[in-house]
Every structure is written in structure tokens, then in C-alpha cells.
């Protein structure tokens, strides 16, 4: 996709994700690197914030939208409900709108009838 300056940047989401990352990494650094220079590690985590936000903003302007866990869970729930009902809605709601038919069997897929005979038959 091309750059589009009118595309919105999800700033709240980017900041929230980075804050969660920074909190988790800071706790890990504090737990595992007590005797070492923790200040440098925490400074590195803090420096990563503007980099993450800048990279996320550029990717958003190019049209990248990462799927959320909520969307993935919702889609799988819809598919499971459709499968229980026996409807074909599970395939129509998928991310791939083109449904390809199953290819015909060939000799390589063991559906073509050219299967070799088993060699470990008992001799009489």
C-alpha cells in the first residue's frame, strides 16, 4: 500500500501497548539484573518508546493494521457457532473471501489408484 497522510494513527493503542511492554520488561530487568547496571537497561526500555511510536505511526500511514486478540477470538467464536449450527457461515466470514475447490486426487495424493503394492507380504 502507498503512503496516505489521511489515514488515522491509533495513538492510544500504540501508547498502551508500549506501556505494557515497558512495565513487563522493567520488572524482568529488575528481577534478573539486580547486581548489574539496571539503570542502563531501564534507559534502553525508555528510549524504545519513541522508536516504537514512530515506527507504528509510519506503518499506520502505510495502511498496516495489526489484528487484535479480540477480533481473532470473535472470529473463531463465530466459526465455532456456525459449525455447531451446521451452516456454511464459518467459511464466508473468514479472512480469505475466495474459497477454492478441493483439487482432484492424483497419483501423488494416493487418490489416483496408482498405489504401489505392499512389499512385506507373508510368503507361504
pLDDT averaged over the chain? 81
Q: Where are the domains of the chain?
A: 11-61, 67-95
- Rounded distance between C-alpha atoms, residue 11 and residue 25, angstroms: 21
pLDDT for residue 65: 85
The string of DSSP codes covering 13-82 is: HHHHHHHHHHHHHHHHHHHH-SSS-HHHHHHHHHHHHHHHHHHHHHHHHTT--PPPHHHHHHHHHHHHHH
Per-residue pLDDT reduced to its tens digit, 108-119: 776 655 566 667
pTM of the model: 0.57
Phi-psi region of 63 (alpha: psi -120 to 50; beta: other; left: phi over 0): left
Per-residue pLDDT reduced to its tens digit, 10-34: 999 999 999 999 999 999 999 888 8
In the predicted structure, residue 67 carries a pLDDT above the cut 70: yes
The sign one gets for the Cα dihedral 54, 55, 59, 65 is negative
Cell of 32: 534478573
In the predicted structure, residue 87 carries a pLDDT above the cut 80: no
- Position 90 confidence tier, pLDDT thresholds 50, 70, 90: very low
Distances (CA, A) of 60 to 4, 29, 51, 121: 9, 30, 14, 63
Amino acid at each position: 500500500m502507498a503512503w496516505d497522510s489521511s489515514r488515522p494513527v491509533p495513538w492510544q493503542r500504540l501508547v498502551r501497548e508500549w506501556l505494557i511492554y515497558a512495565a513487563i520488561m522493567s520488572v524482568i530487568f529488575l528481577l534478573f539484573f539486580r547486581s548489574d547496571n539496571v539503570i542502563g537497561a531501564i534507559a534502553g526500555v525508555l528510549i524504545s518508546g519513541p522508536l516504537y511510536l514512530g515506527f507504528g505511526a509510519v506503518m499506520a500511514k502505510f495502511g498496516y493494521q495489526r489484528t487484535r486478540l479480540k477480533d481473532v477470538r470473535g472470529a473463531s467464536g463465530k466459526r465455532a457457532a456456525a459449525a455447531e449450527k451446521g451452516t456454511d457461515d464459518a467459511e464466508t466470514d473468514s479472512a480469505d473471501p475466495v474459497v477454492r475447490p478441493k483439487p482432484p486426487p492424483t497419483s501423488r495424493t494416493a487418490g489416483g489408484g496408482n498405489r504401489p503394492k505392499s512389499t512385506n507380504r507373508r510368503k507361504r
